[in-house]
Structure 1
Amino acid sequence: MRSPKKTFWLPVLALLPMLIVTSLVRAEGMSIAYTVVKMPLAEDISMDDAVDSMLLRANVLNFKMVARLPLYKELESMGVETKRIEIFQFCDARIAAQMISENIDFSAYLPCRITLIEDEEGKPWLVTLDLDKVIQMADLDPELKTLAIKVRDTMMEIMTAGANGEL
């Protein structure tokens, strides 16, 4: 008679290669869309209104806009026909410094970005990195995790204000 321990582990061990292959396929087949958050602008909100709303909300939340890159203008100056693509970079320098002092790898995610972009049909979107994914991957102590969540929430509030034209 087999012991109950052996009876349990034999099927698990037999399935192990399949579980490993399945997890590898998922990782390799992961879409880049999985790593971002996208918000469409409300129907009655212009792209300029969205920008004004984002900048005002960031200011209210004490989240500094550190750069504004009108990529579409650069492309147009090179003779490339393009729809509007504009990248906004926001930062809370104190939080950024704490994250970098914990692990310099966080510097690759700084500053936080929101892209205002038109899709092929002319529909305007706001797009940013899904900070939930980064927070889940990072090994953060409770204080840094709280700060990372604050940054995520602030970015989402800025995007929501822009998408809805909230002042």
Structure 2
Amino acid sequence: MKSLKRFFGIVGMSLMLAAPLAQAKPSTPASDLQLPKVYKVQLAKGVSADDAADSMKLRANALNIKLVSELPLSKQVEAVTGKPQRRMTIFQFCDAVTAKELVDLNLDYAIFLPCRVALIEDKNGQVWLIMMDMNVDQLAREGKMSKALKQKISKVRNDLIEIINAGAKGDL
């Protein structure tokens, strides 16, 4: 009897916790934005993944773009599986003020934040820097954003391209 009460207690608790999820509804997207293009650059010969990472961090700092997170996914997979993994690190960069203005315009734009750059080693051992290349003009049309905000977003995009190119070349 005691185990039956415990079972129903667990089931009841699970239902109470799941209730808010069942009531949640997906947000209606601001528009039917097309999937963004990808900006992808191969590391130059002689540039290591660590050199690229250091170069991106230094360039981001020089451009006043904050590195808000670095996710060493390959190390996490290696810790779980016990097997060596190809390098896969996600860097998240942000211009917080521009991000706030974008989200103030439309909450759905939060899915683009923060800006991510992936450092990925492919099956052949070549390392790539990859990011989503947002179509700023389309975002501006869909969100009816001000010219000033569009310029800020374009600057962030261009700064991210500069960060990736510095990483790919190993520029310090």
Gaps of 5+ in 1: 1-29
> Which secondary structure does the structure 2 equivalent of 1:68 belong to?
strand
Corresponding residue number in structure 1 for 2:97: 94
- RMSD over aligned Cα atoms: 1.5
How far apart in 1 are the matches of 2:109 and 2:156? 13
How far apart in 2 are the matches of 1:146 and 1:72? 36
Aligned residue pairs total 134
Gaps of 5+ in 2: 1-33
Corresponding residue number in structure 2 for 1:47: 49
Q: Which moved more, 1:70-79 or 1:135-144?
A: 135-144
How far apart in 1 are the matches of 2:86 and 2:56? 20
> Which secondary structure does the structure 2 equivalent of 1:37 belong to?
strand
TM-fit CA distance, 1:42: 0.2
How far apart in 2 are the matches of 1:105 and 1:81? 37
* 1:108 correspondence with 2:99: no
How far apart in 2 are the matches of 1:88 and 1:41? 16
What is the aligned counterpart of 2:129 among 126, 135, 143?
126
How far apart in 1 are the matches of 2:108 and 2:138? 12
The share of aligned pairs that are identical, in percent, is 44
Q: Within 5 Å, which residues of 2 pair with 1:63-74?
A: 63-74=65-76
Structure 1 counterpart of 2:102, one-letter code: M
TM-score normalized by the length of structure 2? 0.74
How far apart in 1 are the matches of 2:126 and 2:61? 26
How far apart in 1 are the matches of 2:96 and 2:128? 27
> Which secondary structure does the structure 2 equivalent of 1:74 belong to?
helix
Q: Deviations over 1:1-48 (max 9, x none)?
A: xxxxxxxxxxxxxxxxxxxxxxxxxxxxx9x7x721100000110000
How far apart in 1 are the matches of 2:59 and 2:84? 31
TM-score normalized by the length of structure 1? 0.76
Structure 2 counterpart of 1:56, one-letter code: L
* 1:163 correspondence with 2:164: no
TM-fit CA distance, 1:155: 0.3
Structure 2 counterpart of 1:111, one-letter code: P
Structure 2 counterpart of 1:58, one-letter code: A
Corresponding residue number in structure 2 for 1:78: 80
Structure 2 counterpart of 1:105, one-letter code: D
How far apart in 1 are the matches of 2:79 and 2:167? 27
Q: Deviations over 1:93-151 (max 9, x none)?
A: 111011111111110000000000011111000000012x2x13212321111011001
TM-fit CA distance, 1:87: 0.2
Corresponding residue number in structure 2 for 1:25: none
Corresponding residue number in structure 1 for 2:152: 147
